[in-house]
């Protein structure tokens, strides 16, 4: 059998395109801001993860340009060999200080950050417990670790406790959760997870990708939000959300970070982050620290939209963050809603299985601190009109 046969037999994308319901790989012709242009049409952006509104910010853009002027366009190697710049070390120090950790380590993408941490720190004699709604990069990372992987029901502490209680007391144990779950917008139950970890001798890792910059008094994420930073052994976060660029980092004790530096294949065998990215990320970090009003505004926006959608008649689930899902259930109806709001000038993302469980297809809306009330009211009006037209509300 031809190894490529699975590709030749794949027809889902073509079927969606034929029905005018294909929502992916849309080319944006302008900067990723609250409004964008697609096919020369202005669209209200409600599908971005740029929570702080810094991807098209003059300060972050200038910092990226300055990085290129000083160091060029790339590093031409991995951090382990010729790819470490003073910019990398400066940013790692600032990130460690910001996160109240001994050390931090940069990776070239968020996915590589989780893969690099998990495939290095856990092994064949260890057990890792992951929430069924954890990000795909966590799932890939634990697969590469060759450890025993146990999935517990989403935010179900009784299920996690059962698995911990039934596990060997001699095995190393790590619980890994998203601080903010990227599709549902709800928070991990960190207080109870930490208590269970203490009871059963496990460590806890939190993926703060959608939480850093957003949650906590200082923007350090869900761990800070719950006052549990000292109880979390290691965190990761990405630059592709609040930090307005690409990349990721791990933050932990000095010994753990030093071990990752010398043992993580995802770090050693990947080209390092280029100067433009480092400049933008450092500038974004400074803004996150110095402008807490952005977080305040972002949560005002999120609250307005949660209440607005609920009053219209949509189910937004358990979200308490700037990720506000509209849970539709049926995949076909979800695509129809996407098509209608797109035609009315709103950019959103439909999420269907396997991105969510079967029967839980949703429209994922997400918000930026620089959205205006006029833009938000326009979105609510469109969703109300379209929802009634399709019989969804």
**pLDDT (tens digit, 9 = 90+) per residue, 34-61?**
999 999 999 999 999 999 999 999 999 9
Dihedral of alpha carbons 123, 124, 129, 131, sign = positive
* End-to-end alpha carbon distance in the chain: 48
Which positions ≥6 away from 163 have C-beta within 8 Å? 129, 150, 152
- Residues annotated as part of the active site: 182, 210, 241
For residues 11 and 141, membership in a common domain is answered with: no
Instruction: Write the DSSP assignment of 190-216 as a string of letters.
Output: HHHHHHHHHHHT-EEEEE-TTTTTTSS
For residues 376 and 284, membership in a common domain is answered with: no
Residue 168: pLDDT over 90: no
Provide the pLDDT for residue 30.
Answer: 87
For residues 252 and 343, membership in a common domain is answered with: no
User: In which residue are the tokens 């970090």 written?
Assistant: 285
For residues 49 and 71, membership in a common domain is answered with: no
Specify the length of the chain in residues. 393
Percent residues over pLDDT 70 in the chain? 100
Distance CA 156, CA 143 (A): 22
For residues 13 and 129, membership in a common domain is answered with: no
CATH number of the structural domain spanning residue 196: 3.40.640.10
Query: In the structure, what pLDDT confidence band is assigned to residue 169 with cuts at 50, 70 and 90?
Result: confident
pLDDT tens per residue, range 251-299: 999 999 999 999 999 999 999 999 999 999 999 999 999 999 999 999 9
For residues 48 and 68, membership in a common domain is answered with: no
Instruction: Write the DSSP assignment of 84-148 as a string of letters.
Output: --HHHHHHHHHHHHHTT-SEEEEESSHHHHHHHHHHHH--TTEEEEEETT--HHHHHHHHHHT-E
Q: Are 392 and 337 in contact (CB under 8 A)?
A: yes
Distance CA 384, CA 393 (A): 8
Overall domain count for the chain: 2
For residues 303 and 257, membership in a common domain is answered with: no
For residues 107 and 212, membership in a common domain is answered with: yes
What range defines the domain where residue 282 resides? 58-290
CB atoms within 10 A of CB 324: 27
Q: Are 156 and 130 in contact (CB under 8 A)?
A: no
Query: In the structure, what pLDDT confidence band is assigned to residue 307 with cuts at 50, 70 and 90?
Result: very high
For residues 41 and 9, membership in a common domain is answered with: yes
Q: Beta partners for 43?
A: 36
For residues 280 and 316, membership in a common domain is answered with: no
Domain boundary among 271, 290, 309: 290
Look at residues 345, 361, 259 and name the one whose alpha carbon lies nearest to residue 38: 345
Q: Are 219 and 212 in contact (CB under 8 A)?
A: yes
For residues 246 and 265, membership in a common domain is answered with: yes
For residues 251 and 268, membership in a common domain is answered with: yes
Q: Is 329 left (phi over 0), alpha (psi -120 to 50) or beta?
A: left
Query: In the structure, what pLDDT confidence band is assigned to residue 32 with cuts at 50, 70 and 90?
Result: confident
Query: In the structure, what pLDDT confidence band is assigned to residue 355 with cuts at 50, 70 and 90?
Result: confident
Q: Are 189 and 153 in contact (CB under 8 A)?
A: no
Distance CA 339, CA 19 (A): 10
Q: Which two tokens stand for residue 307?
A: 């209440």
pLDDT tens per residue, range 338-352: 999 999 999 999 999
CATH number of the structural domain spanning residue 370: 3.90.1150.10
**Nearest-5° Cα angle at 15, 10 to 21:** 130
Q: Supply the pTM of this predicted model.
A: 0.95
């Amino acid at each position: 059998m031809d190894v490529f046969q699975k590709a030749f037999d794949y027809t889902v994308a073509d079927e969606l395109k034929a029905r005018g319901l294909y929502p992916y790989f849309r080319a944006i012709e302008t900067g990723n801001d609250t409004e964008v242009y697609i096919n020369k049409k202005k669209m209200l952006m409600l599908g971005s993860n740029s929570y702080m509104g810094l991807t098209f910010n003059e300060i972050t853009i200038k910092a990226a340009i300055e990085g290129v002027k000083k160091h060029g366009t790339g590093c031409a190697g991995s951090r382990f060999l010729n790819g470490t710049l003073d910019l990398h070390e400066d940013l790692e120090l600032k990130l460690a200080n910001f996160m109240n950790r001994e050390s931090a380590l940069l990776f070239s993408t968020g996915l590589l950050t989780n893969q690099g941490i998990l495939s290095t720190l856990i092994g064949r004699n260890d057990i890792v417990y992951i929430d069924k709604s954890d990000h795909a990069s966590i799932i890939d990372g634990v697969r590469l670790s060759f450890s025993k992987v146990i999935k517990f029901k989403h935010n179900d502490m009784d299920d996690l406790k059962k698995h911990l209680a039934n596990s060997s007391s001699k095995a190393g144990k790590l619980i890994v959760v998203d601080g903010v779950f990227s599709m549902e917008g709800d928070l991990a139950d960190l207080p109870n997870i930490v208590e269970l970890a203490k009871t059963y001798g496990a460590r806890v890792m939190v993926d703060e990708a959608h939480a850093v910059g957003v949650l906590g008094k200082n923007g350090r994420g869900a761990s800070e939000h719950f006052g549990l930073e000292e109880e979390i052994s290691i965190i990761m976060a990405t630059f592709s959300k609040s930090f307005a660029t690409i990349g990721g980092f791990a933050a932990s004790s000095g010994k753990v970070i030093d071990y990752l530096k010398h043992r993580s294949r995802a770090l050693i065998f990947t080209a390092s982050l280029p100067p433009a990215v480092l400049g933008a990320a450092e500038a974004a970090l400074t803004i996150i620290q110095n402008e807490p009003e952005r977080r305040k505004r972002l949560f005002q926006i999120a609250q307005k939209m949660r209440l607005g959608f609920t009053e219209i008649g949509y189910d937004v689930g358990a979200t308490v963050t700037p990720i506000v899902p509209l849970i539709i259930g049926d995949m076909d109806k979800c695509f129809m809603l996407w098509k209608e709001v797109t035609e009315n000038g709103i950019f959103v993302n439909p999420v269907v299985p396997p991105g969510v469980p079967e029967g839980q297809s949703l429209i994922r809306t997400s918000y930026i601190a620089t959205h205006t009330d006029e833009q938000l009211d326009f979105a609510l009006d469109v969703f109300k009109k379209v929802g009634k037209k399709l019989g969804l509300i």
